[in-house]
Structure 1
Amino acid sequence: MVLTRIDGSRYIRRFYRMEIVPGLFGDWGFVREWGRIGRDGQVRTDWFASEADAQDACFKLHMAKAKRGYA
């Protein structure tokens, strides 16, 4: 899932990418990348014991980003 936030009057052009991936040992990773559109972003991976836990974390972050204007 890719979220963007663009506000021309404030020169804001940002993206936020979220993905859930399986790990090698039965765990699940929640990968997120963020930064300015057109530039390399920062990447962070958080590991969870179950896919449901990773999906919950993804949903919570998605809602937080939506409140800040990402669509």
Structure 2
Amino acid sequence: MLAQPYHLYIERTDVDRNMARFYALSIEPTLFGTPCLTRRWGRIGSGGQSMVHHFDGAEEAVSFFLDLLRAKRARGYRTRPIGKML
């Protein structure tokens, strides 16, 4: 069982390249109590796409969550300051 919630929303924008992307991650328990990592991504303002990953243990899910976060940060995704819009 997870000791704390894992939810993340990050964006990558570049006006010159007409780029406005989002990436959302969350880890939540399934009905059977196993952790499930849900990824959502797409253009800001759209529904985007999603993918679900199931894990046997919370440690695996958190490790994958952090790996994805590192990869997205390396590509320029950042949290959006409160009150700042495109």
Q: TM-score if structure 1 supplies the norm length?
A: 0.96
Seq. identity, %: 38
More helix by share: 1
Q: What does 1:1-71 align with in structure 2 at a 5 Å threshold?
A: 1-71=8-78
Segments of 5+ residues of structure 1 without an aligned counterpart are: none
Give the SS at the match of 1:70.
Answer: coil
Runs of 5+ unmatched residues, structure 2: 1-7, 79-86
Flag the structure with larger Rg: 2
Runs of 4+ that moved beyond 6 A? none
Aligned length: 71
User: 1: distance between equivalents of 2:33 and 2:45?
Assistant: 34
Counterpart AA for 2:75: R
- Per residue, is there more strand in 1 or in 2? 1
Deviations 1:1-48 (A, max 9, x none): 101000001010000000001012231100010000011110111000
Q: TM-score, normalised by structure 2?
A: 0.80
